[in-house]
Amino acid sequence: MTTSDGAVIGTTQVYGSAPRNRAFNIVLLAEGFTAGQQAAFNTAATAFVAALRATPPFDELSPAINVFRVNVSSTDAGADDPVSGGGTGATARTYFDATFGGNGIRRLLLVNQTTALQVAAAQVPEFSLVLVVVNSTIYGGAGGSVGTYSLAGGATEIAIHEAGHTAFGLADEYPYYAGGNETGHDHHPNVEPGEPNVTVNSNRATLKWRWAVASTTAIPTMSNPDCSKTDDRPSTVPAGTVGAFEGAHYYHCGAFRPEHNCKMRALSVPFCRICRQVIWNRIGPLGTLPARAKTPISVVARYPEHLDVFAVAADGRTMSDWWNVNSGWAGWFHVSGGIASPGGTGAPVTSIARYSGHLDLFTVGADNRVYSAWWDASSGWSAWFRIGDLVVRPGSTVNVVSRYDDHLDLFTTASDGRTMSTWWDARTGWAGWFHVSGGVAAAGAPVTAIARYRNHLDLFTVGADNHVYSTWWDDRSGWAGWFRLGTLTCRPDSTVTAVSRYPDHIDLFTTASDGKVMSTWWDVRGGWANWFQVSGGVASAGSPVTALARFTNHLDLFVIGGDNRIYSTWWHDTTGWAGWFNVSGGVGRAGGQVAAIQRVTNHLDLFTVGSDGLVCSTWWDSEGGWAGWFPLGIT
Amino acid sequence: MTDPAQPPGPRSVRLIFTYDGDEVRLLQQQPVDVAISGFDLPQEQSPGHHVEVRGADDRVLSRVPIRATMTTSAEVFPEDPSDPITRTDLPRAQGAFTVVVPVSSSAEHVAVVRIAAPTGEPGVEAVGTTELARFPLEGGGPR
């Protein structure tokens, strides 16, 4: 009973059209089907596809899923069914050596995993999941690196449950080991499981899936009153409520699951919210990101070989992708279930890395309040949490500055236009929001900030009269009053971009009411210069000017032009301003933004929303010049 | 406006291993054009079995989790969906598994490791990494 008992006939794609190298590829292997019975396997494959597509979230994710059937003939039909496992004693010469009765249990259906993996790798090298379909009406299946199931009614449920383990790393949520009130499974050991859908922790603040728990849901949601047995009571909360339900991961008590029921707890029920999100996070990143048309993109280099990018999807989801020199782009994923305010041009996600193992994010939520989340290398992503009660303008930007590692300063505009700030300090936590020096910003104008020293801040915005204003804070003198910078008239939603090439110098960039790209500078010796147009440039209405100082004597600018093309220019102290040029033929969205970062010397990475609505990127380095634009997703 | 061409990135290799207890053998290395998502490249150190891609200096370049394998129990499914799923102990952990790892020009070998779970609340970094086996990558080393 080996591979000499049959032959691989061939492979047929039975579902999907996603590029194989960017898809979730499921391979179904025929086992125990003779050459004359291949039609029955084909029918089983079709039934599997139907069952999968009827199971959320696979229904929504189906554009990224391919299913292949590999027809394999066996000498005999069926599988071994040993008497020792309660079977009939039948034997069958089959390709993958399938046998019921594993470990003396008839329903435990095992195959030669090595052969299955090697055949799958040979037939569909890009496979993500292998399932062996066994030609028998005896009920059975098994999990592990290769899932098995038979043709018995409902056995496809086994395949989908096992996919939860093999492909998505989900834990079993049932609260017993041997089926019920066995001994030795009263209390889960105090060891945190690595899987995302079970936990020994019932602390709301640190719960793994805290991002999905409503503030009105009790934690724990249900506790087992008798740990000597399983808690078989019906749910005390409506179906679909995410909380912490005691009894999971093979133990009656001491371990919690996210919902009362889930396919990882029992067959024939849907996956819970958390498991659905995990499946999304595995398959969703295989695609590109249709983004909000004007969403500003935020990019952070926590260290030179790594980038974290944040954007808002067309449906408002707060999304991230990351790149590492050793693994490429990781694909877009939804950050902690966040939804950004759709008001105005849509609130962006802003980000900052106070140190290499930590990120802080900020956005305005759908309720027009300011929210934050963080990622830490030791604990992963936090839930989004609200910072105070401030109600901001719909779609406002929250700008952040870290003057030193243990401190953050935030700036945004209230619903009535007041320029608002708060701060966080590691010793004292979040302060209350306060109005900065009586300032009021024009509708749509963000408040930008720069820290030239750890005890000094400079702020800029467009005031209600559409002129540019500034103020500063110094730890010795506190906040200064707002003062006007020249007579330039801006669009009310213009962004004032500030760059400090060295501590005693500031360069400002913005757009005039007629779209002209304008600049001025401040120097400690000469004060503020007059506004001037940069190389005749004109920006698309609402497009901010992105500025980067790669050296103390060099600036690079990026903007979406009046023709929606992506333009750049540079300034060098010896040559002055260059002319604007179109970056690699790129075309963006009207009013869009171009994010830019220098993670290593003589290298730039750019990000924007392309004319096709997808987040895209290009890069420049001094050796190869500009690369072509590519849709940002996974590499 | 986008060019369908993707930026050059690391290549990927499928590895097929067999195991008998903690004894792990690398059966097959197969270069494969597969995008590896962040889901399979967790940035946090999580407990469980993993395959690490390492450089010549043993520095970990990437770490891919091994899922649903190397266990000493198996699931048994009920014929009636209203009956419980159960588990049964196996005499020993034995079988095969596969992972796809990113291989950059710095990659030299892979190691199969077990990272112990922390106790108590999450947020505490996993501690205790046990290397079970290491294997040279075909065509590894500086290129």
Please tell me which of the candidates B1, B61, B119 has its beta carbon nearest to residue A629. Answer: B1
The region that residue A206 occupies, defined by phi over 0 for left and psi between -120 and 50 for alpha, beta otherwise, is alpha
Query: Of all residues in chain B, what percent carry a pLDDT higher than 90?
Result: 49
Judge whether B119 lies within some domain: yes
Token reading at A30: 């025929």
What's the whole-number mean pLDDT along residues A477-487? 97
Give the rounded distance of the alpha carbon of A305 from its chain centre. 19
The region that residue A229 occupies, defined by phi over 0 for left and psi between -120 and 50 for alpha, beta otherwise, is beta
B68 to A165: CB separation less than 8 angstroms, yes or no:
yes
So what's the pLDDT on residue B6? 56
Across chain A, what does the average pLDDT equal? 94
Partner A contacted by B57 (CB < 8 A): no
Q: Say whether A456 sits in a helix, a strand or coil.
A: strand
Please tell me which of the candidates B75, B102, B123 has its beta carbon nearest to residue A378. Answer: B123
So what's the pLDDT on residue B7? 58
pLDDT digits (tens, 9 = 90+) for A228-238: 999 999 999 99
So what's the pLDDT on residue B16? 98
Architecture of the domain whose range is A3-166: 3-Layer(aba) Sandwich (3.40)
The contacts of residue A5 (CB under 8 Å, 6+ apart) are A74, A75, A76, A93, A94, A95
Judge whether B97 lies within some domain: yes
The region that residue B140 occupies, defined by phi over 0 for left and psi between -120 and 50 for alpha, beta otherwise, is beta
So what's the pLDDT on residue B2? 46
So what's the pLDDT on residue A543? 95
Judge whether B4 lies within some domain: no
Instruction: List chain A residues with CB under 8 Å of B107.
Output: 326
The contacts of residue A215 (CB under 8 Å, 6+ apart) are none
Q: What single-letter DSSP state applies at residue A635?
A: -
**Of A341 and A39, the one with more pLDDT:** A39
pLDDT digits (tens, 9 = 90+) for A161-174: 999 998 999 999 99
Residues A545 and A422: their CA atoms lie apart, in Å, by 26
What's the whole-number mean pLDDT along residues A388-392? 96
A21 to B34: CB separation less than 8 angstroms, yes or no:
yes
Q: Per mean pLDDT, which of A178-187, A341-350, A596-605 is the most reliable?
A: A596-605
B120 to A190: CB separation less than 8 angstroms, yes or no:
yes
So what's the pLDDT on residue A179? 74
Judge whether B1 lies within some domain: no
pLDDT digits (tens, 9 = 90+) for A395-417: 899 999 999 999 999 999 999 99
A118 to B28: CB separation less than 8 angstroms, yes or no:
yes
| Contact yes or no for A496/A508 (Cβ under 8 A) | yes
pLDDT digits (tens, 9 = 90+) for B14-33: 999 999 999 999 999 999 99
Please tell me which of the candidates B27, B95, B106 has its beta carbon nearest to residue A144. Answer: B95
CB count in 10 Å sphere of residue B74: 18
So what's the pLDDT on residue B110? 97
A588 to B86: CB separation less than 8 angstroms, yes or no:
no
Judge whether B141 lies within some domain: no
What's the whole-number mean pLDDT along residues A544-551? 97
Judge whether B63 lies within some domain: yes
A117 to B47: CB separation less than 8 angstroms, yes or no:
no
Q: How many CB pairs under 8 A join A and B?
A: 247
So what's the pLDDT on residue A3? 76
So what's the pLDDT on residue A533? 98
**What is the number of structural domains in chain B?**
1
What's the whole-number mean pLDDT along residues A35-44? 98
pLDDT digits (tens, 9 = 90+) for A293-317: 778 899 999 999 999 999 999 989 9
The residue of chain B nearest to residue A285, with distances taken between CA atoms, is B37
Judge whether B142 lies within some domain: no
Give 10-residue mean pLDDT values along chain B (143 residues): 54 96 96 90 85 96 91 85 84 93 94 83 61 88 37
Under the banding of pLDDT at 50, 70 and 90, the label for residue A2 is: low
Partner A contacted by B37 (CB < 8 A): yes
Name the E strands within A573-614: 576-577, 581-587, 595-597, 603-609
pLDDT digits (tens, 9 = 90+) for A223-266: 999 999 999 999 999 999 999 999 999 999 999 999 999 999 99
Under the banding of pLDDT at 50, 70 and 90, the label for residue A1 is: low
CB count in 10 Å sphere of residue B131: 11
Partner A contacted by B92 (CB < 8 A): no
So what's the pLDDT on residue A296? 87
Judge whether B6 lies within some domain: no
Please tell me which of the candidates B46, B75, B82 has its beta carbon nearest to residue A142. Answer: B75
pLDDT digits (tens, 9 = 90+) for A490-523: 999 999 999 999 999 999 999 999 999 999 999 9
Instruction: List chain B residues with CB under 8 Å of A126.
Output: 32-34
A378 to B125: CB separation less than 8 angstroms, yes or no:
yes
The answer, yes or no, to whether residue A345 has pLDDT greater than 80, is no
DSSP for chain B reads: ---SPPPP--EEEEEEEEEETTEEEEEEEEEE-----GGGS-SS--SEEEEEEEETT--EEEEEE--S-S-SEEEE--SSTTSPPEEEE-SS-EEEEEEEEEE-TTEEEEEEEEEPPPBSSTTSPP--EEEEEEEEPTT-S--
So what's the pLDDT on residue B4? 47
Partner A contacted by B7 (CB < 8 A): yes
What's the whole-number mean pLDDT along residues A574-579? 97
| Contact yes or no for B66/B58 (Cβ under 8 A) | no
Question: What residues does each domain of chain A span?
Answer: 3-166, 287-383+598-635
The answer, yes or no, to whether residue A609 has pLDDT greater than 70, is yes
The closest of A112, A107, A102 to A32, measured between CA atoms, is A112
So what's the pLDDT on residue B79? 78
Domain extent for B92: 11-136
A208 to B27: CB separation less than 8 angstroms, yes or no:
no
Query: Of all residues in chain A, what percent carry a pLDDT higher than 90?
Result: 86
Residue type for B11, please? Answer: R
